[in-house]
Structure 1
Amino acid sequence: MFGKTKQPPIKSLIAQGTRIQGDLQFADGLRIDGEVGGNIRAVDGQSSLLIVSEVASVTGSVEADHVIINGHVKGPVLARELLELQPKAHIEGDVTYRSIEMHQGARISGQLRPVAADGSAEMPTLKLAANNR
């Protein structure tokens, strides 16, 4: 509806208090509330959603179609479609995205690299998050 594609369901959860050491590959949707020390990558060829909640911590690269971050990521981030940075997001690493939505309070320590669907550099689609005051 209104030009938005349906998001894949969250089928996997790394709960708060859980720590995973090693690389992780997933399909559909993954929510992280715990800690991951390793690279996180969505399977190619299908729509994917990765959520890093405000209590989560990731040390390693992150790659998915739609990435929502409200926690801490130390490593490069690749959002093949949309990157949403919520107010408590903190990224230490380079960020590559097709389109980005960044809320006030989110922090990035690294380079921003927009890419087109064909992989070439182009001007990004920017969405400004409204201040709800």
Structure 2
Amino acid sequence: MAVFNDDISINSIIGNGSSIRGDIKINGFMRIDGDLEGNLETTGNVLVGENARIAGNITARSITVGGIIKGNVVAPEQVHLLSSSVVIGDIQTRRFQADENVIVHGHCISLYDETEYESASAEWENIKSISQKAIKVD
């Protein structure tokens, strides 16, 4: 599916047919082929298989998506969306690659320059924070 330039040994796997509910925080490379309902945070790379379904936010160094993610994706190094992928949420990365027929519904920040990326990410986080705390006054 994906080729990463560094160590590709997988530290953790959620296999096809498996289902996990709850947040996960790990070190290293993670592969998901099953279902995850919760947030995932890792210091390494994430590979989301074509049959995977995730309802939660993902924070990783880089991510390759073949399945469905309903949540935000933050992967400063790279985001690669394969042709079978669906992302319903925001994407933040320095390098963005999307194959044909992907579906993305959300806001995308993809700036290679580190200063511009950090500035745009901080600004977007502020906008989201303000809009989530907005109060309707009649």
By the TM > 0.5 criterion, same fold? yes
Divergent runs of 4+, >4 A: none
What RMSD, in angstroms, separates the aligned Cα atoms of the two structures?
1.7
Q: Which has the higher helix share?
A: 2
Shift of 1:66: 1.1
Shift of 1:24: 0.4
Determine the structure 2 residue equivalent to 1:10: 10
Q: 1:117 aligned to 2:127? A: no
Shift of 1:28: 1.2
For structure 2, the residue ranges without an aligned partner over 5 or more in a row are 122-138
- What are the equivalent positions in structure 2 for 1:69-84 lying under 5 Å apart? 69-84=65-80
Could you give the per-residue CA deviations for residues 97-128 of structure 1, whole angstroms, max 9, x where no partner exists? 11011100111001111244341239xxxxxx
CA distance in 2, matches of 1:106, 1:86: 7
Greater RCO (CA < 8 Å, at least 6 residues apart): 1
Contact 1:12 1:30 in 2 (8 A): yes
User: 2:83 is paired with a residue of what secondary structure?
Assistant: coil
Q: Which has the higher strand share?
A: 1
Determine the structure 2 residue equivalent to 1:62: 58
The amino acid that maps onto 2:33 is D
TM-score computed with the length of structure 2 as normaliser: 0.77
Structure 1 range deviating more: 113-122 or 14-23: 113-122
CA distance in 2, matches of 1:32, 1:97: 20
Q: Larger Cα Rg: Structure 1 or Structure 2?
A: 2
User: 1:121 is paired with a residue of what secondary structure?
Assistant: helix
Shift of 1:58: 0.4
Shift of 1:8: 4.0
The amino acid that maps onto 2:41 is R
- Identity within the alignment, %: 27
Could you give the per-residue CA deviations for residues 60-117 of structure 1, whole angstroms, max 9, x where no partner exists? 0011011000100001011110001000010000111110111001110011112443
Shift of 1:7: 3.9
For structure 1, the residue ranges without an aligned partner over 5 or more in a row are 123-133
